[in-house]
Amino acid sequence: MSLILGACNNNQNVTEKISETEEVAVEQPVEEEMRVTGSFGEEITEEGVISTEEMLAQLERADSVKVKVNSEILATCKMKGCWMNVDIPGEDNMRVTFKDYGFFVPKDGAEGKNVVMEGYAKKVTTDIETLKHFAKDAGKSQEEIDAITEPKDEVTFVATGVIIKDSE
């Protein structure tokens, strides 16, 4: 007699047969595509951007500096996009968090893209528990997480706004 099929995560008007001679349009919801490029957080511009090398030079004279810096995204938090790691020449990488968890970046698809970020760079010592938490959020294996046994001196960044761009 009649058969109606539905599909999740698909925002299309679909014509379905409900009998041999009748058809009806059925609207089905589609999962919204997550935008990977663009502005996140406070609106910022690229004016006044410096390199990560210049940022590190400024950090030699201070524990914390307010800067606008350009880098490449290496990884993002797979849980909810609440942090990202960016490339820092001569360093492992730099973890970027977002002021007051006021915004997030895409969980997938941002790796390898260029990013301009404005905020505060700071020299810190990250404790073992926090390092293990970040490793878990990054999807590391239990073996990799268990191998974290010492705190780490590193540069971190708290961004007020970011612009993610396609690689140049």
24 and 42 co-located in one domain: no
Q: What is the extent of the structural domain holding 55?
A: 38-165
The CA distance from 101 to 82, in Å, is 7
| In a shared domain, residues 5 and 79 | no
Amino acid 92: pLDDT: 78
pLDDT above 80: residue 114: yes
Same domain, 157 and 76: yes
- Dist CA 105 CA 77 (whole Å): 9
Confidence (pLDDT) at 168: 60
User: With 80 as the cut, is the pLDDT of residue 32 above it?
Assistant: no
Residue 117 sits in a domain whose CATH number is: 2.40.50.140
Same domain, 24 and 43: no
- Residue 26 near residue 16 (C-beta atoms within 8 A): yes
**In the predicted model, is pLDDT for residue 57 greater than 80?**
yes
Instruction: Take residue 153 and report the two structure tokens written for it.
Output: 């001196």
93 and 67 in a common domain: yes
43 and 2 both lie in a single domain: no
Question: How many domains in the chain?
Answer: 2
Q: Residues 6 or more apart from 45 whose CB is under 8 A from it? A: none
What's the mean pLDDT in 103-118?
93
Single pTM value for the model? 0.72
Under 8 Å between Cβ of 80 and 107: yes
> Are 28 and 46 found together in one domain?
no
